[in-house]
């Protein structure tokens, strides 16, 4: 592991900007405070290979541009396969570029955040070497087949979260990445993006899943034959939808996320803030994604920040009220000290067909639902040809982000005068 490299030669550091001081950071009552001042976060999520020195240097050179657009937070989303090629949990690539970036952000008085993407649904990829070490770690569908990410179109092999070797390797990767950076400069850490099973394929019916399920049934003294996992494939739909099975799936999904959060805190300290995405999309497949949403949220004990996705229910073009209702139900009933925010408040592709009026309604809805922490924007890059990027080649805002950038003072006033 390459330990912290605090390279001083960070491009375009403005000496007149006050350097951030993490000792003064606090998250409370759903808001972020810096030296007792409430700061609403405008979060830029630039998708890059942060193990690549040239890509990192380019982003460092663009920090002045981002700051001029009023971004005050940079979320660094690191893919497992970029850093650890042989999949043993120990980074093969130097962490020096990552540290250059963290230090550059911090020295500009901005807030670095660190996300490690370690799953293989929706864009992530498991390192190829991991499969050589763990050939039995594949997720298995209800027909008995290994699963690839056909839902999001990436075609990557999907891992079973029930595989203990997968989880332990990821924990080592998280710990090793955290050891290699100055965690005191990180505002919050984020577990893998949109933790879920899948929405289009029933998961998981591997030997490891069956073993964990049988153990859980015994611990909870569950003996009814209807909820026993069938011994052969294909798995009948009656079991795929069985409430007991889906209760277990929800609890185990939360266990997976909780363990990842604990891995961060084992290095960064017990007071480290951790953000978790809560994916609540098409209702008819929500049970496939996470078993039982309320059960998942109830057992999600290690999160500080809940990032709702979707915030807007695209099929009906209405607020995704069911998602927020579930989050607030668990928050209130279990007295959770959660920040309620959003994952991908806007991204470059999902909102392109909306008018400016509709985009403003979507932002207003987040405030109505209680968001006072910040808005997250993905992908913050300048690429006219990339439909996920929010900016043109010359950094002119594309339509989706224009109503944010050009009216930021207005939005700050709305945010500070609107209470849930």
pLDDT of residue 216: 99
pLDDT of residue 13: 34
pLDDT of residue 392: 99
Structure tokens at 302: 């290690």
Tell me the per-residue pLDDT of 355-397, one tens digit each, with 9 for 90 and over.
Answer: 999 999 999 999 999 999 999 999 999 999 999 999 999 999 9
pLDDT of residue 3: 45
pLDDT of residue 244: 99
pLDDT of residue 420: 56
pLDDT of residue 154: 92
From residue 120, give the alpha-carbon distance in Å to each of 128, 134, 158, 184, 416: 12, 15, 5, 29, 38
Say if residues 115 and 158 touch (Cβ distance below 8 Å): no
Per-residue pLDDT tens listing for the chain (420 residues):
544 544 544 333 333 456 889 999 999 999 999 999 999 999 999 999 999 999 999 999 999 999 999 999 999 999 999 999 999 999 999 999 999 999 999 999 999 999 999 999 988 899 999 999 999 999 999 999 999 999 999 999 999 999 999 999 999 999 999 999 999 999 999 999 999 999 999 999 999 999 999 999 999 999 999 999 999 999 999 999 999 999 999 999 999 999 999 999 999 999 999 999 999 999 999 999 999 999 999 999 999 999 999 999 999 999 999 999 999 999 999 999 999 999 999 999 999 999 999 999 999 999 999 999 999 999 999 999 999 999 999 999 999 999 999 999 999 999 999 865
Say if residues 240 and 205 touch (Cβ distance below 8 Å): no
pLDDT of residue 6: 47
pLDDT of residue 11: 37
Domains in the chain: ranges and CATH:
22-417 (3.20.20.80)
pTM over 0.85: yes
pLDDT of residue 123: 84
pLDDT of residue 8: 44
pLDDT of residue 419: 66
pLDDT of residue 7: 52
């Amino acid at each position: 592991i390459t330990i912290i490299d605090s390279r001083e030669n960070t491009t375009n550091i403005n000496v007149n900007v006050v350097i951030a001081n993490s000792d003064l950071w606090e998250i409370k009552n759903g808001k972020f405070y810096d030296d007792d001042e409430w700061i609403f976060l405008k979060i830029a999520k630039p998708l890059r290979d942060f193990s690549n020195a040239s890509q990192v240097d380019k982003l460092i050179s663009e920090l002045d541009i981002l700051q001029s657009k009023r971004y005050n937070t940079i979320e660094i989303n690191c893919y497992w396969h970029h850093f650890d090629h042989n999949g043993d949990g120990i980074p093969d690539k130097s962490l020096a570029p990552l540290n250059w970036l963290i230090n550059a952000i911090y020295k500009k008085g901005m807030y670095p955040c660190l996300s490690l993407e370690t799953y293989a649904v929706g864009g992530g990829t498991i390192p190829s070497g991991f499969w050589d070490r763990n050939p039995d770690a594949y997720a298995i569908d209800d027909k008995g087949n290994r699963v690839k990410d056909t839902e999001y179109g990436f075609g990557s092999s999907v891992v079973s979260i029930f595989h203990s070797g997968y989880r332990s390797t990821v924990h080592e990767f998280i710990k090793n990445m955290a050891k290699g950076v100055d965690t005191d400069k990180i505002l919050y850490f984020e577990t893998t993006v949109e933790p879920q099973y899948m929405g289009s394929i029933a998961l998981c019916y591997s030997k490891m899943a069956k073993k964990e399920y049988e153990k859980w049934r015994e611990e909870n003294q569950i003996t009814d034959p209807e909820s026993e996992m069938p011994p052969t494939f294909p798995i009948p739909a009656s079991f795929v939808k069985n409430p007991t099975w889906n209760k277990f799936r929800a609890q185990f999904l939360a266990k997976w996320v909780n363990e990842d959060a604990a891995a961060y805190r084992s290095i960064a300290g017990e007071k480290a803030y951790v953000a978790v995405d809560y994916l609540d999309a098409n209702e008819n497949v929500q049970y496939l994604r996470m078993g039982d949403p309320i059960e998942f949220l109830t057992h999600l004990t290690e999160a500080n920040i809940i990032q709702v996705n979707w915030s807007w229910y695209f099929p009906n073009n209405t607020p995704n009220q069911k998602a927020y209702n579930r989050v607030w139900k668990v928050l209130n009933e279990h007295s959770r000290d959660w920040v309620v925010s959003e994952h991908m408040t806007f991204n470059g592709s999902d909102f392109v067909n909306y008018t400016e009026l509709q985009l403003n309604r979507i932002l207003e809805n987040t405030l109505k639902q209680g968001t006072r922490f910040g808005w997250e924007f993905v992908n913050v890059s300048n690429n006219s040809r990339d439909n996920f990027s929010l900016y043109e080649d010359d950094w002119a805002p594309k339509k989706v982000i224009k109503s944010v950038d050009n009216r930021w003072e207005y939005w700050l006033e709305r945010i500070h005068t609107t209470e849930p």
